[in-house]
Amino acid sequence: MENESTFVAPEGVYSVTEEHKPGSFGQHPITTAPILYPTRISAVTVRFPATKSNSQGLAQLLGGGNREKDYKKEKAAPAKEREDGLSVSSSETPDEGTSPDVSNTPVPDSAMSTPAMPHEQLNNIFFQTPAGLGKKKTFARPKHNMRTTSSTFITRVQNTDNLTKGLHSKQGETNFVFYNLAKSFIWMEAGSKPKEPLARVYFSAYPTCHDVNLTTVSPERIDVIIGFNTGDLLWFDPVSSRYGRLNKQGRICNSPCTAIRWVPDSPNLFLASHADGTIVVYDKEREDGVFMPQEPGAPPSTSSDGNSASSHGEWNPLDSIFVTMPPWHPVTVGGNLSSGGKSEKEKTAKNPVSHWKVSRKGISDFVFSPDAKLVAAISEDGCMRIIDTVTEQLVDCYASYFGSLSCVAWSPDGRFILTGGQDDLVTIFSPWEQRVIARCQGHSSFVSALAFDDIRCDGRTYRFGSVGEDNKLILWDFSSGALHRPKLHTAHHQRQSMTSNTSLALRRRGESTLYLPPSGAFGGDSPLPRYHPAPSRNEVAVVQPVVVKHIGTDMLTDTTFIGRGLLTATKLGHIKLWIRPLAVQPRHLRTQSTYRRNSQVDAVL
């Protein structure tokens, strides 16, 4: 029987086994601050070793063996550790020109001198897989201790008792959950008893978004990037309670941070989007540089501060993005553009790695393709843009059916993109075919969040979930083969169909990431436009929901799937864990692979 804590799906009954409510455990009075930004959640699975051959090993990795020495050093040199919120250097030292002490920290490859290369060939900088990091065996850790900091940005840190000992005693797979609430950021363990947060950090600003690096996650470290309404960014390792700051006081961009994503398979690169329509590429191991992005429409020459970008007349955000290269970029330093007599100190690699002006309105969210070669970014102007991260160019721009877009997700196999927004619809795009293939009708208000269920996506059928301001959790299933292509009659649609088929063929052969036909390929003098208006309702297939579940009275703001089930969050920070059903298929259809798939626990995107 379905009730407030259960719902029935085709594969069985989902039930709530865990809830975290504001006020269910002791909270600092600062949480009385108004909740101006929605709660966002993320989850990650950490695999702890099953046996502990050396009882001191993990404690030393967590800093337990040197905790007392580190504390004495920090007390002996408070000036070096001090971060009072007035400095503008991400190195957190009074002298912004002083480099941080990296004697015990691996030097990032991105900070080393790199050969000159065209700006269109950024793969040596942008895509840094662990295998491509040379002989470096360890990754850099945040520099500053959160428990002893004098920062005014961090107002309080509250850890559970014996945190290090508790982590050291864990074995097997453990699910950790992170979420923001008002001016606090919470780290919890899914399934923990008692349900008390492992750590809660209070700030003077509002956390608005965050992301966990799945490349570096281990029992010894969890790299989290947190964005704030002030534009500040915080690199945080909750295991060691250490942190570093980037874009301090909005030095690079002072607009509120709207979304953050680590570059897949990169230990140090991430992207942050802002409410001014920009996406900035950062390296967590670099300091903030003195940087002023070039304004669209400026002459295509090197500006007085060394910045450079391509511009040809009036900038059209529906046809291109505007890229500003920092003065320390390889092209600016020693490539096609003059270095302008910059000193070696000014040529040192700093943040940002790159700066993209994507829209004249705020970026709501963005997501990487599985191979990290493309980014799908949505904005308040009602457009979804697909950006090639290697060439830093706009590939396609799709208009929403109505209003702005608020959430986006990319399927695990890269074939489909989902968007949701103010049109109360979930739209399914095929980037390979460059078209809208379906719309999903079921929400009666704005769609807040979307997520694919990796366990139930097998390349033929796909499962995803959505939540909205109508307090509905909806599960959807669709099959790519069941979504028929509507009849197209206009010449424009015929050209688009030919382009899509050619693009798909090239994709299957692996010859090209994307296909843009040459000028005159279809009888015209100009190439096909990148902008695609929204098709009418009778041109697109409609998908109906599988499950519609009303949850409480508080606005739902986020959802994500984990191996055990799915998580939902409300604006007021009410988190629920819905466990998957034990039986996902009728008995005569069950297979061993089905059981293995449903028992698998993977890291969440």
Q: What's the CATH superfamily of 358-456+476-485+528-543?
A: YVTN repeat-like/Quinoprotein amine dehydrogenase (2.130.10.10)
Which has the closest alpha carbon to 569: 6, 187, 20? 20
Overall average pLDDT of the 29-55 stretch = 78
Residue 356 has pLDDT above 80, yes or no: yes
The pLDDT of residue 20: 86
Q: Please provide the DSSP assignment of 344-377 as one string.
A: HHHHS--B-SEEEE--SS-EEEEEE-TTSSEEEE
Contact 101, 92 (CB under 8 A): no
Where are the chain's structural domains? 358-456+476-485+528-543
Give the residue carrying structure tokens 């002072």. 254
pLDDT of residue 314: 86
Is pLDDT at 295 greater than 90 in this prediction?
A: no
Q: pLDDT tens across 97-110, in order? A: 333 333 333 333 33
Position 35 confidence tier, pLDDT thresholds 50, 70, 90: confident
Residue 491 has pLDDT above 50, yes or no: no
Q: What integer best gives the mean pLDDT of the chain?
A: 76
Distance of CA 19 to the CA centre of its chain: 25
- Mean pLDDT is lowest, of 130-134, 197-201, 333-337, for 130-134
Identify which has the larger pLDDT, 31 or 254: 254
Residue 337 has pLDDT above 60, yes or no: no
Higher pLDDT, 592 or 128: 128
Asked whether the whole model's pTM tops 0.95, one would answer: no
DSSP assignment of 163-208:
HHHHHHT--EEEEEEEEEETTEEEEEETT-SS---SEEEEESS-EE
Q: How confident is the model at residue 294 (pLDDT cuts 50, 70, 90)?
A: confident
The pLDDT of residue 122 is above 80? no
Residue 403 has pLDDT above 70, yes or no: yes
What local confidence, expressed as pLDDT, does residue 600 receive?
36
Would you tell me how many other CB atoms lie within 10 Å of the CB of residue 336?
Answer: 11
Instruction: Give the residue among 458, 414, 100 at the shortest CA–CA distance from 286.
Output: 100
Of 104-108, 163-167, 438-442, the range with the highest mean pLDDT is: 438-442
pLDDT at residue 31 tops 90:
no
The lowest-confidence range among 92-101, 262-271, 326-335, 554-563 is 92-101
Question: Does pLDDT of 507 surpass 50?
Answer: no
| Residue 342 pLDDT grade (very low, low, confident, very high; cuts 50, 70, 90) | low
